[in-house]
């Protein structure tokens, strides 16, 4: 006994859409050195006194990293130089990205850019930026009478 399936173009379109949704979900959700456009992945968090930005920049020379702060926006720019390609080798996989990148980040609070500090260790750039005085958390002691 054969099973005949009636052609339904709507079902075909839905199957195609589900396949494309899955494709884009997989592409975006993969943890890699940089996002799809080559900008570094970052973490941003704040404490009572400062905002901290950490950016993954493995293998970079700190001299090739440019950081600037304008208002509530941090700009991280850099250049990743491509290594010389071996002429006698057959590459099986080439995933590392080369070239220039820029990442603009909006900070969660107003900061004092003049007192910002940056250091680079083990492939991670860490920016520590003090918050502006008027947005810092002020502790008020509650007195009991």
Would you list the domain boundaries of the chain?
32-135
* pLDDT, position 27: 64
Between the CA of residue 31 and those of 27, 46, 56, 96, 109, what are the distances in Å? Answer: 9, 23, 12, 13, 27
Other Cβ atoms closer than 10 A to 142: 5
Handedness of CA 112, 114, 119, 123 (dihedral sign): positive
pLDDT at 106 over 90: yes
> Per-residue DSSP letters for 11-31?
HHHHHHHHHHHHHHHHHHHS-
Quote the DSSP letter at residue 136. S
CATH 2.60.40.790 for domain 32-135, yes or no, is yes
* pLDDT, position 31: 46
pLDDT 10s digits, 108-130: 999 999 999 999 999 999 999 99
Average pLDDT over residues 71-86: 86
* pLDDT, position 38: 65
pLDDT at 40 over 70: yes
């Amino acid at each position: 006994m054969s099973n005949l399936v009636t052609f339904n173009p709507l079902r075909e379109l839905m199957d195609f859409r589900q396949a494309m949704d899955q494709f884009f979900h997989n592409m975006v959700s993969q943890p890699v050195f940089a996002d799809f456009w080559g900008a570094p992945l970052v973490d941003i968090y704040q404490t009572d006194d400062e905002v901290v930005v950490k950016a993954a920049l493995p293998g970079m020379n700190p001299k090739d990293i440019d950081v600037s702060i304008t208002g509530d926006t941090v700009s991280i720019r850099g250049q990743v130089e491509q290594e010389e390609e071996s002429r006698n080798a057959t590459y099986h996989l080439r995933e590392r990205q080369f070239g220039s990148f820029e990442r603009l980040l909006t900070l969660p609070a107003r900061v004092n850019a003049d007192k910002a500090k940056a250091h680079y260790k083990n492939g991670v750039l860490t920016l520590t930026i003090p918050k502006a005085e008027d947005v810092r958390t002020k502790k008020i002691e509650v007195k009991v009478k």
